[in-house]
Every structure is written in C-alpha cells, then in structure tokens.
Structure 1
Amino acid sequence: MRFCIAVFVLCATWPAALSVTRYSIPEEKERGSVVANLAADLGLEPGGLAQREVKLDIFSNKKYLDFNKKTGELYIVEKMDREYLCPAKPASCFLKLDVIIESPLRIFNIELGITDINDNAPHFRRDRVELDVSESATPGERFSLPNGVDPDVGINTIKTYKLSVSEHFTIEIQTGSDGTQYVDLVLTKSLDREQTAVHNLILTAVDGGVPVRSGTANIIVRVQDTNDNPPRFDKQTYTINMTENTPIGTLVMKLNASDLDEGLNSEIVYSFTLYTSEKTQEVFSLNHNTGEITVKGTIDYEDMKFYEMHIEARDKGTHPLLGQCKVVVNVKDMNDNYPEIIIQSVKNTVEENVAVGSVIALVDISDRDTGDNGKVSLTIHRPMPFTINTSSDRPMHYKLIVSEPLDRETVPEYDITLIVTDAGMPPLSDNETITVHLLDVNDNAPQFPQSFYTIRVMENNAPGALLSSLTAFDPDLHENQYLVYFIIEKEIANTSMSMLFSINPENGNLYALKTFDYEIEKEFLFHIEARDSGSPPLSSNVTVHIIIVDQNDNAPVIVSPWRAQGSVVEEKIPRSTDKGSLVAKVIALDTDSVHNSRITYQFLQVTDATLFSLDQYNGEIRTMRMFSYRDPRHQRLVVVAKDNGEPALSATVTIKLTTMETAVKAYSDMTEEPLEYDIFSDINLYLVIGLGSVSFLLLITILVTIVIKCQKPKPSKAAPPSRNSVISERNSTIADSTLVSNDAYWYSLFLAETRKGKLVVRQPLPKGSRYIVSSIPRGTGLTDTSDSAASTLQYPK
C-alpha cells in the first residue's frame, strides 16, 4: 500500500523533473563562488527550504559542488578543471545533478556547463626531434614533424605553427579531415655539410587564446655527407734534403692529404703511381694508411743524387676520388764520423768561495775523420762563469777553469755543456755535460725585512701577550742558516729590557713580560739581534720602537671644590648676588692623555635650572639672574665631570648652596677690592708659612729636576712650556682653559679668577697633593704674552 502511494506521489510530481535547468561557469572558478541561486531560479522560497527536506544528488561530482539550504545558493567546494573532468575534449562539458525536495516531493534536473579558458600552453610530446638529411637532397623534399598538443578546446587550442628563421628550411601545415593539423619540414635550398653540418631549428606551436600561449620543440637536422670532395695535398711538389747513409727506418716525411668529407668518404689510402721507379721503391717505403715515407734501403750519394716519388691519395667512397703529388729527395754527401769528448778528470763538488782560476776538469777531444772533417774544436755552451783553455803543447787537450766568483745562494749548481764540432760540410758535433755542485759557506749575515719596527701596544695588556714576530732571513744552508734571536741588553730607569720583554730565540716572536701603564711609561727603544750558527757566526740587528697606546682607564678626579670622601660641599652666598656672579668652579683632573683626558662639565641635577649656568669647558658655575623671594634658600647642584674616552668615565660632586640675608659682599664685590687682611692674622700667618714651605720645596724640586735632566738624553720632542705652571714631562690641555701638570708640588690654596682678574682666597686644600692646575682664560692660548691672571691647585693622585 505504501509503495503504491509513493509511486503515486512520484508520478504526480514527475512532470516537474522533466525540465532541465542549465548554468555555465568558466573552469578554475575560485572556491566558494556561487554558481546559482536555486531558490530563485526554480521558483522556491528561500525561507521555506530551511524547514523542508532537500537532497542534492551530484552523482560522482559531489566534491565540487554543495547547496546552502538557508539561502538556496549552489556554490563551488573545489576548483574544477575542464581538462580533467572531460579528458576526451568534447565540445561541451557538463556536470549533472538533481535537487530533490520533499513535502511535497519535487525533483529538479540541473546541468552545469564548464566553459574552457586558455589555461594550458601547447606542448610537444617530444621536445627534441633529430632528422638526418643527405647533403645531396634536392629542394622541395619534405620531412614529417611531430604535432603539438593542447588540452584546451575551441579557439584556445593550437591555431598555427612557426619555424625559426632558416635559409634552407620552411614548414607547411596540412589539415586532416578531422581538423587535425600536420606539420611538414620542407627543404628550400641545397645543403652543404662541409659548410654547415648541423642545423638547429625551433618549431613553435601557438594557440588562439587570450592571452596567447605557445610551446616549442628543438629540431636538429644533421646533414649526411656525400663524396663530393677529392683528397688534396697542400703542395704539388715536396723537396727533401737527406744525407747519405741515413739509417733504415728514418722518417723522410709524413704526407697529409685532406678530404672535407666525412666517414669513409674522408678516409684516405696512399700509394705509389706507375711513374715511381722500382729503384726508388727499393730505397723508400710508403705507409698506405698514414702517408709516412721512411727509409728502407741504403742511400748512397755516389749511386744516386736524387729520388722522385709520384704518390696518389684515394678516398674510400663508393665512387672514390683521388689527388696526386710528387716528392723529390736530394741526397747530400756527409761527414761520416762524429767527433768525441773524453773527460780525463773532473771535480763535481767545490766550495762556493773557490778561487777564480781553479781547474774544474781536464778534457780531451778527437775525431776519426781526416781532412776538414777531422778538424775539431771545443766550445762551452753554458754557463758563462766558466771558461776553457787549451794547452800549447797539446792542441786537443783543454782545461775547464773558474772565470769569476761563484755564489751558491744565486746558483746552487751548474750544468756545464761542452760542445765539440768538426769542420766537415755539414759539420758534425757532440756534447758532454759536467755537473758542478757548490758547497755552502757562511758568507751571508741574517737580514730583517725592515731596519726599524714600530710596534703599538695598548696599555693594560696581558703579561705574556705576543707583540710581533720579527723574523730574519739567511740564504745560507744548514747550520749557517739556523738563527738565534735575543734582545740586546739595555737598562731604562734601572730596569733591564729582558725584564720587560722576551723574545723566542728560535722564531723571533716578541712578548711582553709585564702590564704597561701609559701614565707611567709611554715608549721603549731597544735592539734585537739575529745571529746564525755558522763558524764564525754572522749577525745583524734591528731597532724596535714600542709605543704604549693610552686607554681610557682613569676616571676624572674632582679636585675643586675639595671635599672629604663621599661628603657634600656646602657653600654660602648672599641673596643679593648679582646676575653673572661666580658661585663656584668645578675642576676635575684625568691622568689619561689626549682625548681621553679632555673633560666637560654638565649639570646632573639642579634645583632651579633658570638660576644657575655651568660652563661645560672650565666648570664655572655662575648665576643667570638675581635671587628672588620665591627662590628656596637651599639650592642643590650635582655636577658631573665626564672625559672624552670611549666609553667615557666620569665623576660627580654635589654642591649645597645656602643663601644668606646678610651684608656679606658678593664674590664679584670681593674681587673688586684689594686684599686688606691683617698680615699677622692667623690665616695670613698660615698662608705665609705654607707659601714659604712650598716655595722652598718647589725650589729644591726644580734643582733636582734640572740635575736629572742634564744627566738624561734629550727626548725626541720637548713638552711645550706653559705659563704659570711648572714644566713637566707631560702637559695636557683640559678643554681650552686649563693646563694640568702632574709633577708640580701642591700650592695649598684654591685661587679662583673673578670677573676683573683679581684673586680671592676661597678655602684651603689638604696637604700632599701632586697636581698643579693653571687656569688660563678661554681663547688666550698658551702664549708667553698672555696678561690674564692664572690660578693654581694641586690634588693628591
């Protein structure tokens, strides 16, 4: 009963399934693309499909399509390739699917047409085609070429073929009954293998799509040879001169006829013609394959003065071609016996300092011939340091002697070639070689590549570090060449060089034995000697200049304003201080040199940045304006002094300023009035005593320094004198207004320059300092004509 109802329902809805809905899309359409809206196209309600049972039957192509029940859209699940789906290249390619909707049951037939796009380039099943064509082929001959293949259809398939430019070939395209195109290669001009043996052509298949695609195949045409070139000799007549008694088997000459053909057509066979006499063929033989003419009988000048050979060269082609030549052999009378050299005695080994005129060998010469053919002479071919002398009583006896000094380092051995020659026509000669070995003597001193070595060593080096390798060269041999290196002893400041440096006696490697400090020692000058092991030994020395290079290994030290370790400098100034007044001066010293000791000053912290200014070069702190009632009473200034090293080192000082509502004069006022203190006050008494003591010590120091300087050699460059400071071994400029000397004694007082250049006592400093600071106004330079007042200060190192 249920079966009958189902059949009834199916039959009732069957007319709806008879209509077919068709869609068309291009192949390679992207995934997710909507093919069609089935709800709209089939007259269905999109909202109603969600509550109804919808079945999409896509047969075997379900992996490509799917259906969205909510929207009624048919969309692509995976890209479609028309060439894969329809490999037989039909004109039309369809995917068939059914949409089945229940309640009530409805069936829709859908065909999805896949249209072709030009996504495949033509190609050849063989990308290389080789053809063999005879050079005798006539123009118009045709040769079949492979067809191209393009899986696309319609206008996207192969449209035409093209051939690369050739004066010998072209192509013709034939179309079969099924529309297939066939390509023939047509010969348009005769071929010549000897001119071009291989023709390389390119066949291109082009489709009609947009854009156009193409594929190529290489056509290799090998031209096959025909026997169209006869063998040729480079001469028609060859003339050879030979002496009588030439040994049997001697090669007279090798004929070499050429044939431009190839294969059997170029293989040549040589033979005598009937014009060659039997007598000639008894004396000479001809190799049929190689063309070599050799002697097979006795050549006698008295029997026959010349021989003529008529020879032909024939190739091995089907229809052989040939060429001919003539060989004439002229026989010359000969000197039958060669002269001889007899070595009576020889010295094969001599010392390189052998005396000029020493005899190396005794030589006799002879010749069994008579007349001019028996007259012989001896010559020396090489080398020219040697010569030969003949004995007056024995004309055929010679002495080989040394004609100039010998040097083993230049030439270690000599091959002396003696040549004996007779006076025959043509002359005969023979030679003998004498080898002379030279023994080494110690005649060369060791030599350094340089006479002066400058070695730069960074201070704080590790003890035992390799500084340089000083290697000398000695061209002598064996013990005369073995070198020993050592430092020539020299004391500097009661210190031996061997305590500072060490050299490897075997290879000349120079090492530092201690760590150097640029601030203590800046350079060393000494000598290194290289001595060989000969007897007697020879030696040479070289000057070594060690330059210690400064590192930024010393931080600046703030010497003014002085304060105990870790303490804060406290200063008191009147609140009525004028704008531009000097509040304090920070002075820092750095024992490094050049740029590593150049110091600049900066505020690290300041209570009020509008109230104070800091000169980055001389460290002067001045007021930028007058104090107001709003300004705090206490001002805290943190100044950092930073050197110019890499990386930079620095030091800081904290200055605590307290303003006072008193009638104390400002610093600027203090400098404008002369010092009128009671000379017998306590501070002045201490000042007089201190200055007297320091002056006495300074005088003693100067005298001692002068005595030491007089005893020491003058340095290469004297230190520039500085005004208002003691001359020392090193003066370094800090910024552009301060000179520092580390050899002066302490002055116990801090003297600060004021606006008008007068000096005011600020505060005492501790004893035992070893620096002197000479302050010179910026821009005045280091001239002796400067009128600016200077201030001095020492600080302990």
Structure 2
Amino acid sequence: MWDMKKLVKASPQGLMMMALQGYLWILLLIFCTLRYSGTMSVDMEQSQNSLAATSNSRVKRGWVWNQFFVVEEYTGTEPLYVGKIHSDSDEGDSSIKYTISGEGAGTIFIIDELTGDIHATERLDREQKTFYTLRAQARDRQTNRLLEPESEFIIKVQDINDSEPKFLQAPYIGSIPELSPIGTSVMQVTASDADDPSYGSSARVVYSVLDREKHFTVDSKTGVIRTAVANLDRETQDRYEVVIQAMDMAGQMGGLSGSTTVTIVITDVNDNPPRFPQKMYQFSIEESAPVGTIIGRVKAEDWDQGENTDMTYQIKDEEDLGIFKVTTDGNTQEAIITIQKPLDFEAKNIHTVVVEALNKFVDPRFVDLGTFRDQTIIMVTVEDVDEPPEFQPPWNTMEVQEDIHVGSVIGVITALDPDAANLPVRYAIDRKTDQERIFDIDAKTGALTIGKALDRETAGWHNLTVLAMEADNELKVSRATLSIRILDVNDNPPELATPYEAAVCEDAIPGQIIQLRFIPRGWALTVRSRPFTSFPFWWWIAVLRH
C-alpha cells in the first residue's frame, strides 16, 4: 500500500517569489489540511470500496489522482523541491527503491530512490505547459519486484505573473467622421494575457490612454475607444496616433503592461463652403475670337475632400445677357468661361460678369455654418483687331439699261474701316470676274462706271467681285459680290434667221391669206397655201426695215 507524503518545502527564494506573487494562500490551504504537522499521508490500494482515517492506521482508498505543485520560473541555484512519495511498507531499511516515469521523468523531474523526494531540475513555464502526468513505482531493491501497483499523479505548474498583456491584432487603424459628438465609438482594442486567469489577477487586464491624449478615451474594461471632444476638424488635423496601454493585475502596482499605437483617421464631412481665392479676375480676348472660344478658367477652393468638393458654377449677373457662358469641368472642378455671342470692340470693349460657385452636395447638418456658395467678378477686356473695311450698306444687285453710254456712272460703292471711320479705303474690281473690263471703279471714290458698251442680247447678267481694302494695308481686304442686270431696249429689227421658200397657185384669189410669222432677231417666217397640182411658181419675199 502507498503512503504518499507531499512535503512542499520550497527554498527561501521560491517562498519569497510565491509570496510576492500572491500565491502563498494556496500553499497555506494545503497545509491546513495536513493530519500531521508538516506532512500529508495518502494511502492507496486497489480496493475502492472503503475510506477510513486514524492517526495510527493506514487510510484505505482507491486509486487517487494526487497533485503536486511547483512554482514556474524558479530562479534558484538548487533543484526545487516538489514533494515526497512514500509506501507504508517502507520500514526504513533501504530495501525499497522509488522510481518515477512519464512526462519529464529523469530530465525535468528526479526522485531520490531512498527517500522518495521529488525535485524539479529545470525552470518551468506554465504558459508553455501547465501540468505533467507521471507514475510512481515502489520496487524491492534486491529483486526489482513491484511492491505496490503503479500510482499516477500530476505535477501542476503554478502560475506567477510573468506574462505582460499583448495586443494580438496590431496595427490598429480606425476612422471617425469629423465633428462627431462626444462619446462616439471609434473602435475596440483587445489585449490578451497568457497568465492563468483562475489565479488572482494575473490575467485581469485594464486599459488606459497614455501620452496625455485629450481627444480620445478608452473604456478600462472593454477597450472601446471613444471621442472625448466634439470639435475634431479634419482640415486642422486629419489623423491621431493614440497609445493604448493594457495592464494586468487589474492595474495594481507591480502589474505588467503592454501597449499599442492606434491610428485614428478623421474622415471628411461637407462642413466647408467653396471660396474663390480672389474677388475679381481679369481676362482679355480679341474681338475676332469665334463663338465657343474659352476666355479663361477660375476655381473656387474647398477644403473638404472627395464628393464634398464637387461644385457647379453659374452666371449670377451679367451686363449683356447671353454673351458669355460658364460650364463646370468635372475633372478639375474649374469654371470655364466661353464666348456665346460674337464680340465687338467698337460696340463695347469691357464686360463684367458675376460667377457663383456652389456645392453640389450640401449636408443639412451643417447648414447653420453658413451658405455653401461664393461669388466672384469676371472682367473681360475685348481687344481691338485690325479689321478690313465693311461695305455700307450691304448690297448685291444693280440694274442698268443696255444702251447706257460708256463712261456713265451706274453706282457708288461705299466701304468704311470699322477700326477708324475716317481712314481712307481703296476700291478695285477682281478682274477674274470681269476679264473683258466692261466695268471700271474709281479707286478712291468707289464710283462704278461703264467701260465698254453693253448688249443685253450678248450677256443679260454680269457678276462682279468688288474689293475694298485699307489704303495703308492692302492685306486687310473685304470682298463683295455685285450682280448687274442688263435691262433691254428696242434696238433690234425683226429678221429672218434663214432663207425661206413659199409656193402659191397661179389661180390664187386676190386677198387669199398666206400664213406669216414675224419675229425680231432670230424669228422665223412661214408662208403656206392650200395644196395644188399644177406646176409651182417661185416667189421672193423681202422684209423691209423701217
């Protein structure tokens, strides 16, 4: 029968360590249950039917799991005493040899063959292995015969606070909209402590914020991070690095701690209106610029981000409505000012336009911050362009009789220089349109005269190209097409186009009608009579001019 005596006689260093870690109460609990001062006897036998205990007799019981405790991280120089196994058949004559087998037997744990004392020879770590299962044997030293059945027992590694809390999910990155109310949840952090949570407060973790952070707080129990102020402004600071500490021992002095850095990104809300950097912009454009020409671009600034910066532009006020147009460049968020109607320096050389910028997406939560729009003045200066003369008034048709005398004036062409009305203008006819020089024009006055006799029957229309150019710059030239219609006069007698023959019977009655058809130049003459059968007679008919 076994008599296992567990003697927890830790070295002074071990007792001091256990006292410092708060675990002495466990050992005291064990000692309070001892039947004898400093010893505990446990008798085991195969019978599991009875249990009795006296001070002078053996305790009979079935197989029992017996636990031995050894404190982890022992740093002494001598092997650490764990406990003692003993058989009640041992009479102290050294005839019994005690041995152990199982996890760590002979390496981590050794036993004194004579006394049954068990020692730990290595530094143990509960976080790596919490207990060891072994078997004890009592043998006859001479015959090596088992004197007792094997007894299985457990050596449990007793925890000390040797593991600091660790944040296993770092790095932590959270976000929150700017201007969020106080107490708004940002995110949660969690630290894990590898110590034994069933003993004391070694694994009880509390959280706190380091570095005197005033913008955020952390719940000491849950690790939930919340805002501590309501005026977080992304435009002032768009991220914060918050150091969160986790301390075990419920935050008591002597506890171990770990920390992590939490990056909190402040996301944007539409709390800023568009603003033009300038109250006035000046542009210039030549008066000859075609419709659709871009005069310039302006852009209102918005300190927000993303779609909160999207804006549209519109013309709020314009002196001359419809001359200019403003559109929005969706990529650059710029206002594009273009010409919508032709410009005229001589009519007006300065235009003023008021352009307004406004946000597309206004957040109703922030309308009390002000109007989300802004205005600026666009001043457009129209530059003069050296323009060719302009015909006054525009015309394209004239009429003249064909019998007009050579040298007669049939009209006066007038053109003015729009840049300066008094500047001289020279006139000419494009001779490609009047190769026979039927018409002439006075270079200074623009008087159009007849150069050759006209004949309507030869040409009823004449199309001329008249040129008007600056006297000192013939490259500035204007062209106008003039159509001259020749009016007919009665200047041609009738005539036969070809000779004609007619036959009439000799017995024709006087006064008999002979069919005739007279036409002017190019007309035909026809003479007919009734059919007859006698020989023909030839008649000649002459057309007299009157």
Greater share of strand residues, 1 or 2? 1
| TM-score, length basis structure 2 | 0.49
**Larger helix percent:** 1
If asked which structure has higher relative contact order (CA below 8 Å, sep 6+), I would say 2
TM-score by length of 1: 0.35
